[in-house]
Structure 1
Amino acid sequence: MSIRHCSRCLYPETHPLGIVLDDEGVCSGCRVHEEKDFLDWDARFELLREMVRPYRSASGLVHDCVVPVSGAGDSFFIVDVVKNRLKLNPLLVAYNKQYNTPTGIRNLARLRTEFDCDFLQMNVSPASVKAVTRASLRLMGSMYWHCIAGHTVFPVQIAARFKIPLVLWGAHQGVEQVGMYSHLDAVEMSRKYRQEHDLMGFEAEDLLRLESGLAERDVLPFVYPHERELAQVGVRGVYLGNFIRWDTKAQHEVMMARHGYEPLAQQRTFDAYNHADSFHYSGVHDYIKYLKHGYSKVVDHACREIRYGRLSRDEALGIVECYQAVEPNDLDMFLDWVGMAREEFFECVNAHRNPRVWSKNGSEWRSRLFWPEAGSDRELPGCGYLTGATRTVSKSRRSYVLIGRGWRDEEGNARD
């Protein structure tokens, strides 16, 4: 049975977040993206300004909101909007994903000091993180469950604990990628969406119930606060992307010029701006995505660039051809950390391949999607990313930065 792809971007109808193709073969993600070009974004920002007004402290001495951040992504842009445009006093919070690069450590230090904000970080025991990661690989074929769970739960835990009801997030993945909602819906962060999509259906309590090797202390940091506790505080999670014309490439370039954000070339995609903080997001984690769903992060990035008119569909297909099936060079690094043999790792991942996408002939897996199966050495379109594209990462450092310096030195440099 053939699998249809969007006639405008590259997404297949088997996208794990769910996607709809209309009578013209255009996907729901492309249709919702069209809103970016006709909504009155100045008016929408004023709606946001009025929405956050009741949360602003009269004295300015207490925290008005919680803002999740990392050493990558759109964190610099988000904090710039919150502090300099909305005039709020944010408490910055971060989950330590433990796959940290020196670049990510430097960016996080620069973020904290550049914007002069208070900061809290969740640091879970490495032994617990490894146990949870082994469990998530078996249960859902994911090495990144703990990163997503920690990043989405810690801000909510802090909001409830310190009675700061407003949590400000960046863009909503379901809006940006697949058009699950319109910008006008102004959907807010919810436990239901987090569980079903971000966490692939598994809450922390599910891991504890299904994996005999886990202890309660291993999963406790990832447990979402009870609805009763959230209701008592009035916690709500607002996505800035519903009120700002979100363009992560343009936003990063402004932050690089204004605040010194540091990009990092990636081995499986041309986007050097996002996920500069992780050794594995665009490496092993992305390769797992390809093995499970038949497409990888370069398709996400290429679809985004098509929608903004910065790539043609043919150029995007050429980029996918060059990157998609390339095996990352950080797998041994991860396996050594997590304590798992290569054979066991692939057994875990192969058990979670989408049967609609993949078929097996003997020992060979075959994809029903139209992506080429091997990389190419031909020159790639530059896509306008300032560091260019690369398919290799440095092997000079083969260990994570668990904890790094959290401030900049006297010369203004943030060091790991």
Structure 2
Amino acid sequence: MPDTRPRIEFDDEGVCNACHTAEKKNHIDWDARRQEFLDLVDQFRAKDGPYDCVVPWSGGKDSSAIAYKIKFEFGLNPLLVTFSPLMPNDLAVHNREEMIKLGFDHLMIRPNQKVSQQLSRRFFIERGDPKIHWNAGVNSVPVQVAVKYKIPLIFYAEHGESEYGGRTLSEEHTKIRDFAEVLEHQIGDDPNNWVDDGIEEHDLAPYVYPDLGEVEEVGVKALYFAYFFRWSMLENWHFIKDKFDFHTEPNGRTDGTFTDFDSLDDKIDNLYYHMQFVKFGFGRAVRDSCRMIQNNQMTREEGLELARKYDAEFPATFHDEHLDYLNLSELEFTETLDKHRDPEIWEQSGNQWVLRHALK
């Protein structure tokens, strides 16, 4: 991963901590991890309620692969919990419906859309990220549901800080999800601070993490599935596409990258990943190629070629809808992009912005 990724670290030989994590996986006893998983879930099989666990579920390949394995391979009864995408698309609706038909109970939380849209606009302008509040909701709502229905186990996907290069507060956090780490690294702010003239405290209920005393009273434990089983977005897709009619990007690939199967459920994701390119100088194609290189699914040379070809691509597919959703003119949108460009990463050549250090 590039050194502009927030919180990434490199050793003296220039190897990032995400690559070190990938290398460590080759030395993990995955059979022992599987047994640890089996021993753990046996302790949590429901005795007083219908559900053994909560699975935060978007309908995408990763959370669907987790839910499928938990139900059909390990015999647990999960409740799938979805925090609604900001700008849902038909592709996501189709994939969720096809998965649910296999026999899952599903709960979707769709927060106040007026408030959500206001927050997207504010955070896009202020921070260059229209999904700050969505990240808060997707982290809080599954725990809210687990507390309300007294379901003591939640399975999230992977620990992003260790998988993709970041700051791991402790080795235990690659297994057990820690809210303080999530708040610091994914949200960066307490949702209670978002009150303003147009948003009241009660509007923010979906985004606020439950009282820790309530969480402890129920005994909710949030774990990363990827701690127990080797993680690969490509393998998750290969697994789940054979289980139901999983639709991928109809254009053959998604804006800004070469893949057609990842982050399909929200139209605003195309802009979200492009803002990563604007702010940090690398985008979705670099992200996808790095993950596949680390998993020995492509060579570094192949990854570089794909990244050079697609990483800078503007997210044109839903651009008009992005402007409408964020209530921005074309000029306001462009000005917002430009104000989030780091001058150490970008320079102007004529009337064009160019990276100071392009991929080599």
TM-score, with normalisation over the residues of structure 1? 0.80
User: What amino acid sits opposite 1:141 in the alignment?
Assistant: G
Task: Name the structure 2 match of 1:257.
Answer: 242
Deviations, residues 79-124 of structure 1 (Å, cap 9, x unaligned): 122112332111110011141121110111111121x121111011
Say if 2:204 is the partner of 1:219.
yes
Q: Which residue of 2 aligns with 1:230?
A: 215
Cα distance change, pair 347–206 in 1 and its aligned pair in 2 (3 A):
farther
SS at match of 1:51: helix
Q: Does 1:311 align with 2:298?
A: yes
Matched, 1:337 2:325: yes
Corresponding position of 1:31: 20
SS of the residue corresponding to residue 38 of structure 1 reads coil
Q: What amino acid sits opposite 2:123 in the alignment?
A: S
SS of the residue corresponding to residue 241 of structure 2 reads: helix
Within 5 A, what are the aligned runs for 1:382-401? none
| Distance in 1 (alpha carbons) for counterparts of 2:216 and 2:80 | 22
Question: In the alignment, is residue 57 of structure 1 matched against residue 46 of structure 2?
Answer: yes
Q: Which residue of 2 aligns with 1:377?
A: none
The verdict on how the C-alpha distance between 1:44 and 1:221 changes in structure 2, with shifts beyond 3 A counting, is same
The 3-state SS of whatever aligns with 1:120 is: strand
Q: Which residue of 1 aligns with 2:89?
A: 101
Residue of structure 1 equivalent to 2:155: 168
Contact 1:66 1:93 in 2 (8 A): yes
CA separation in 2, counterparts of 1:230 and 1:84?
28
Q: Does 1:197 align with 2:185?
A: yes
- Work out which of the residue numbers 107, 112, 116 in structure 2 matches 1:120: 107
Which structure has more helix as a fraction of its residues? 2
C-alpha distance in 2, partners of 1:45/1:53? 12
Inter-CA distance 165–350: structure 2 relative to 1 (3 Å threshold): farther
Q: String of CA shifts for 1:195-249, please: whole Å, max 9, x gaps.
A: 22211x12211222xx443233432221111212212212221001011011121
Give the RMSD, CA atoms, in angstroms. 2.2
Q: Say whether residues 1:15 and 2:42 are aligned partners.
A: no
Q: Select which of 70, 95, 99 maps to 2:58.
A: 70
SS of corresponding position for 2:37: helix
Residue 34 of structure 1 deviates from its aligned partner by: 0.9
Q: Distance in 1 between matches of 2:98 and 2:162?
A: 30
Contact 2:192 2:204 in 1 (8 A): yes
The residue type equivalent to 1:220 in the other structure is A
Pairing 1:293-308 to 2, within 5 Å after superposition:
293-308=280-295
- Which residue identity lines up with residue 128 of structure 1 in the other structure? V
Q: Contact (CA 8 Å) 1:132, 1:219: kept in 2 or not? A: no
- Report matched runs for 1:149-188 at 5 Å: 149-178=136-165, 180-181=167-168, 186-188=174-176
CA distance in 2, matches of 1:227, 1:358: 43
**Aligned pair in 2 of structure 1 residues 131, 275: CA closer, same or farther (>3 Å)?**
same
Cα distance in 1 between the residues matched to 2:350 and 2:136: 36
How far, CA to CA, are the matches of 1:191 and 1:138 in structure 2? Answer: 26
Distance 1:187 1:44 in 2: 11
TM-score scaled to structure 2, two decimals?
Answer: 0.91
Cα distance in 2, alignment partners of residues 353 and 162 from structure 1: 45
Relative distance call for 1:305 and 1:323 in structure 2 (3 A) is: same
Q: Which residue of 1 aligns with 2:29?
A: 40
8 Å contact kept, 2:137–2:208: no
* Partners of 2:175 and 2:52 in 1: CA distance: 21
Question: Retained in 1: the 8 A contact 2:86–2:268?
Answer: no
Give the unaligned 5+ runs of structure 2: none
Structure 1 runs not aligned, ≥5 long: 1-10, 373-416
- SS of residue paired to 1:259: coil
